[in-house]
Amino acid sequence: MERIETANAEALARMFAAEPVLADVIPAREAMPGLKDRMILHAGPPIGWERMCGPMRGAVAGIIVFEGWAADLAEAERLAAAGGVEFHPNHHLDAVGPMTGMTTVSQPVMVVENRAFGNRAFCAINEGLGKVMRFGGNDAEVLDRLRWLRDTFGPALGAAIREKGGVGLKAIIARGLGMGDEMHQRNVACSGLFLREIAPSLARTCGDREALARALAFIAANDQFFLNIAMAMGKAIMDPVRGIAGSTVVTAMSRNGTDFGIRVSGTGDRWFTAPVEMPEGLYFPGFSAADANPDMGDSAIVETIGLGGFAMAAAPAVAGFVGAGAPSSAATFTRAMGEITLAQNPEWTIPAADYLGVPSGIDIRRVVETGIAPTINTGIAHREPGIGQVGAGVVKAPMACFEQAVMAIAEELGVA
């Protein structure tokens, strides 16, 4: 259909024209005017307390205590259950968050600016591995780290980024793809590249040598530090693609641990949801599928721009890590995603796969027609709050989301 092809061409053009730059780190309340006190942004499509999974509730309780809206976790849970806080998806306020994706007023958020379109997107700072809030952790250690991020690290990183005039992200991604990252389960190269870029500015702006050392060590010790930057970048790239009438391109994929949701350009801000699936993958020693929580997080925004599971060919090691098969089969995933996307990204190419461009512009029509669901690389959280990551794997976006979206587009275009 002519109208769809034209709209999709426009969608792709906007994706490829994006110029994402990490521009700042600022408190969430400054970044998002719509974010108020006693408002909690979470990962995935809209959800209330009563339907939230264990880790999500754990994170909610933790962040309430962190914000000082309750004295302890028990009181926090009562407050949440009684409707004392408002829940909204990150996506509704130009933000994204990994796993549980908690975003509240006083947290520092990284700001990625899409300089081609002037829009901004936000994501909190990655907390590192182990017991962390994004996996539902909420004890004193978790909250202390969040306070350090808020009071010390966030402001320091923001100052360094401002001093540098921003960090261009497209080039880092392009290099990372050649160094074995797919920007979802593997960010070791991009985190290192980012550290190289920011270290001189951080050294200049951070007056306290001990604080500087701790900041550098924090980035250096966290192989996934760059994930949250990549996520904000994904959001900044896809937001200008929203609302192109007739376009069948997916602008967001996201999960809240209960539902999987997608948004499609031609249907604006409507969510198409279906029950989220369990990831299939490998578990850390001592854990098994019985411990796993259903899939969670806004991080599938990186697949939406052609990274993560879509760029598996760049990261053979990840194919093994997530239990997706032999490293030599990694390219198979990328080629399969090529069947449900409109084009290859001309700038983000994968040297290991003969410079195949990452598959970009997920077309809901092709997903439904071929029955090939988008493949998402994901971390697996323990189903109990506070335990953290227990494995990594691959999860498929539920076909029902795409079927609903196809019906909606067909109605919109009067061919249902």
Binding site for another protein (CB under 8 A): 1-2, 4-5, 248, 326, 328-329, 331-332, 335-336, 338-339, 365-366, 368-372, 399, 403, 406-407, 409-410, 413, 415-416
- What minimum distance in Å lies between the beta carbon of 241 and another protein? 19
Q: Which residue has the tokens 């997920």?
A: 362
Cα angle 299-124-22, degrees, rounded to a multiple of 5 = 90
Instruction: Name the residue nearer to another protein (CB basis): 152 or 332.
Output: 332
Helix residue spans in 180-314 (DSSP H): 188-205, 209-220, 225-238, 301-304
Residue 213 token pair:
């050392």
> Do residues 249 and 305 make contact, with C-beta atoms less than 8 angstroms apart?
no
In the three-class reduction of DSSP (H, G, I as helix; E, B as strand; rest coil), residue 126 is classed as: coil
> Which residues pair with residue 360 across a beta bridge?
343
- What minimum distance in Å lies between the beta carbon of 77 and another protein? 40
- What minimum distance in Å lies between the beta carbon of 322 and another protein? 17
Instruction: Name the residue nearer to another protein (CB basis): 1 or 13.
Output: 1
Nearest to 28 by CA among 93, 77, 80: 93
- What minimum distance in Å lies between the beta carbon of 412 and another protein? 10
Distance separating alpha carbons of residues 197 and 164, to the nearest angstrom: 9
- What minimum distance in Å lies between the beta carbon of 83 and another protein? 40
Residue 357 token pair:
């461009």
> Do residues 198 and 160 make contact, with C-beta atoms less than 8 angstroms apart?
yes
Instruction: Name the residue nearer to another protein (CB basis): 166 or 327.
Output: 327
Instruction: Name the residue nearer to another protein (CB basis): 161 or 409.
Output: 409
Instruction: Name the residue nearer to another protein (CB basis): 171 or 326.
Output: 326
- What minimum distance in Å lies between the beta carbon of 317 and another protein? 15
Parallel, antiparallel, or unpaired: how do β-strands 108-114 and 20-27 relate?
Answer: antiparallel
Nearest to 55 by CA among 16, 101, 123: 101
Instruction: Name the residue nearer to another protein (CB basis): 191 or 334.
Output: 334
